[in-house]
Amino acid sequence: MHIDIITVVPGLLEGPFSHSILKRAEEKGLATVRVHNLRDYATGKQKQVDDYAFGGGAGMVMMIEPIARCIEALQQERTYDEIIYMTPDGETFDQPMANTLSLKQNLLILCGHYKGVDQRVRDKFITKEISIGDFVLSGGELAAAVVADAIIRLIPGVLNDETSALTDSFQDNLLAPPVYTRPAEYEGMTVPEVLLSGHEAKISDWRFEASVRRTKEKRPDLLKGTGWE
């Protein structure tokens, strides 16, 4: 998988992609993330990428011209399955969307900033608009990192145990069950005996029941229409 990210603040994305799972994915040749500074596609001494909004109002708007130059230059290198814009008014990102996007080969993510982008960018280039929640960040960079992390970890071979992602929260509309490790007893608190039994079928049943129970307690909305209510 190849992911290109367009941003006006590339420094915000240096950390997330140079550590842990995302770094290992690139080292294994399974995923590549490239960050592009939008100012490299701006003109003039100031490398301006934003301007005042027509009609007035507070805040600046990202201009269409540098964005268009950047996207069109990248499109010369590859064909994108999706051109994504990170925006608070986009479709809410969830695990099913992550699963779908993890099957793509090439993704381009545009990070919003200031008061957003000129609407004509969205009309001309964007194929998918994504929000990571009902709140506003200073820009789309952190949101883009969240989306990339959620997608890349699903690619076969990225995780050491490929079954791990299949048992994450929100797969099958369930939260993950409680997990335990050594010691088996700590200050009177013990691990459920079934997890120490070595009986795989009983352990599997316990984990499923615990997932349903936890989901009912914490996120009952996820169970609507599943028959597990």
Binding-site positions for S-adenosyl-L-methionine read 112, 132-137
Binding residues: 112, 132-137
- Type of residue numbered 49: V
- Type of residue numbered 123: D
Alpha-carbon torsion angle 117, 127, 156, 97, nearest 10: 90
The span from the CA of 108 to the CA of 213, in Å, is 39
CB-based contact 143:113 (threshold 8 Å): no
The span from the CA of 212 to the CA of 229, in Å, is 9
The span from the CA of 39 to the CA of 59, in Å, is 19
CA dist 70 to 5, 15, 35, 51, 124, Å? Answer: 10, 23, 12, 18, 13
